[in-house]
């Protein structure tokens, strides 16, 4: 199995940190986020890695090279401009012949990718979206209103939702739907596949998941989880 790590974003919400390092190279504890992702993939026997890069791409190449020091084989997918979460995958056309795993470059989890692969094959899915259920508290009274009349008041409800985790298994057949060199997100690709009667399944996951270390607050919390330095938490 091959894997794609999406690492091309600028991480604007994490400035000024990302003026120096792209988000996947920011440290969590003693290791960069990307090191942790690569190690989790390697331990599952997934060593053929495509790394989609754009912002500060040379830093990735200087640090990781061909990936051999990390026990993996890295091929770089260069974006000429930001292409979203699905746009970079267009560069895989003709390079992959079997379903492949995709993970955002700011997601750390203990997902069993091999179990995901088995589910994907068993369901004959075109795209399998890894999901999880979350509960979101609303700290206000929520009203149901009909023609200005309040018909129900729910005080501080908890909203249950099922969300995408930033991890996917994708059949290379669907790459034809991605426009070349245009910004295109994963929700656009999923919508296009469904419009064309393709199969999109969910694979529910409830294990460790640290997602979207996208703001200074998120980064501080992730640092605390991994025992980062007090300096990095400021």
> Does residue 231 belong to any structural domain of this protein?
no
> What is the C-alpha separation between 54 and 79, in angstroms, rounded?
5
> Does residue 61 belong to any structural domain of this protein?
yes
CATH number, domain with residue 20:
3.90.550.10
Number of domains, the chain = 1
The predicted-structure confidence for 39-76, as pLDDT tens digits, reads as follows: 999 999 999 999 999 878 888 998 999 999 899 999 99
**Position 233 confidence tier, pLDDT thresholds 50, 70, 90:** very low
Rounded to an integer, the average pLDDT of 153-175 is 94
Its pTM stands at 0.83
> Could you tell me if 169 and 125 are in contact, meaning their C-beta atoms sit under 8 angstroms apart?
yes
> Could you tell me if 26 and 231 are in contact, meaning their C-beta atoms sit under 8 angstroms apart?
no
Confidence (pLDDT) at 35: 92
Neighbours of 25 (CB within 10 A): 21
Residue numbers of the domain that contains 67? 2-131+164-226
**Position 99 confidence tier, pLDDT thresholds 50, 70, 90:** very high
> Does residue 50 belong to any structural domain of this protein?
yes
The predicted-structure confidence for 18-48, as pLDDT tens digits, reads as follows: 566 777 888 777 788 899 999 999 999 999 9
The predicted-structure confidence for 195-217, as pLDDT tens digits, reads as follows: 999 999 999 998 777 655 655 56
> Does residue 94 belong to any structural domain of this protein?
yes
> Does residue 149 belong to any structural domain of this protein?
no
> Does residue 140 belong to any structural domain of this protein?
no
Q: pLDDT over 70 for what percent of the chain?
A: 85
> Does residue 141 belong to any structural domain of this protein?
no
């Amino acid at each position: 199995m091959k894997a794609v790590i999406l690492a091309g974003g600028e991480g604007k919400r994490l400035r000024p940190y990302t003026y120096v390092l792209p988000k996947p190279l920011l440290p969590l504890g003693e290791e960069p986020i990307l090191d942790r992702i690569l190690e989790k993939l390697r331990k599952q026997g997934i060593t053929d890695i495509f790394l989609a890069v754009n912002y500060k791409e040379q830093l990735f190449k200087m640090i990781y090279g061909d990936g051999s020091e990390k026990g993996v084989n890295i091929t770089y997918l260069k974006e000429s401009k930001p292409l979203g979460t699905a746009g970079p995958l267009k560069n895989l056309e003709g390079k992959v012949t079997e379903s492949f795993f995709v993970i955002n470059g700011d997601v750390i989890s203990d997902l069993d990718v091999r179990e995901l692969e088995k589910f994907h094959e068993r369901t004959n899915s075109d795209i399998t979206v890894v999901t999880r259920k979350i509960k979101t508290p609303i700290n206000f009274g929520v009203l149901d209103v009909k023609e200005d009349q309040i018909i129900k008041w729910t005080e501080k409800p908890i909203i249950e939702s099922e969300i995408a985790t930033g991890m996917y298994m994708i059949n290379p057949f669907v790459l034809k739907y991605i426009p070349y060199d245009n910004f295109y997100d994963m929700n656009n690709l999923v919508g296009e596949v469904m419009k064309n009667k393709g199969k999109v399944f969910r694979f529910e996951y409830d294990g460790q998941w640290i997602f979207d270390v996208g703001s200074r607050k998120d980064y501080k919390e992730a640092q605390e989880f991994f025992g980062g330095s007090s300096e990095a938490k400021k």
